[in-house]
Amino acid sequence: MKKIETSAAPAAIGPYSQGIRIGNVVYCSGQIPVDPATGTVAGTAIAEQAEQSCKNVGAVLAAGGASYEQVVKTTCFLADMTDFPIFNSVYEKYFISCPARSCVAVKALPKGVLCEVEAIAYTEEQ
């Protein structure tokens, strides 16, 4: 088991890691739309926040030796399900392989953000 750490994604805000790699599987913790360069939430609209969340997932995947194309499952959390169509339009630009997915509305997310994305990837390389 290898802990994944990268400055290209926001640091964990609790007692967890950005991701874990076990063999050929990379588990990415949920990524909220915090810009790792500034430590602030990226924008106020769902499109901006979805974009940053997806970029953060990509950074954790890369640090773990995986890519968007190798993602087999995502779980997406939205603060408001009316944001679903806009969230989807951003999400589909990144997860072009159409992995399995769950997307649910939640009462609240850390830092009052509008979305969070987590991913599991499988790669042939060790």
Question: Residue 14: what pLDDT?
Answer: 87
Distance CA 42, CA 19 (A): 21
Predicted confidence (pLDDT) per residue in 29-83, tens digit: 999 999 999 999 999 999 999 999 999 999 999 999 999 999 999 999 999 999 9
- The DSSP secondary-structure symbol of 41 reads B
Of residues 126 and 44, more confidently modeled: 44
Residue percentage of the chain with pLDDT more than 70: 98
pLDDT above 80 for 125: no
CB atoms within 10 A of CB 115: 28
Q: What residues are paired with 74 via a beta bridge?
A: 101, 119
Please give the mean pLDDT across all residues of the chain: 96
Question: Residue 77: what pLDDT?
Answer: 98
Sign of the four-CA dihedral 112, 117, 25, 126: negative
pLDDT above 70 for 100: yes
pLDDT band, very low/low/confident/very high, at 126 (cuts 50, 70, 90): low
Instruction: List the structure tokens of 19.
Output: 């991701």
Look at the domain 2-122 and name its fold: 60s Ribosomal Protein L30; Chain: A; (3.30.1330)
Q: What residues are paired with 31 via a beta bridge?
A: 117
pLDDT band, very low/low/confident/very high, at 124 (cuts 50, 70, 90): confident
Question: Residue 71: what pLDDT?
Answer: 98
| Residues 6+ positions from 117 with CB-CB distance below 8 Å | 30, 31, 50, 53, 54, 56, 57, 74, 75, 76, 77, 91
| In the chain, domain spans | 2-122
Active-site residues, by number, are 103
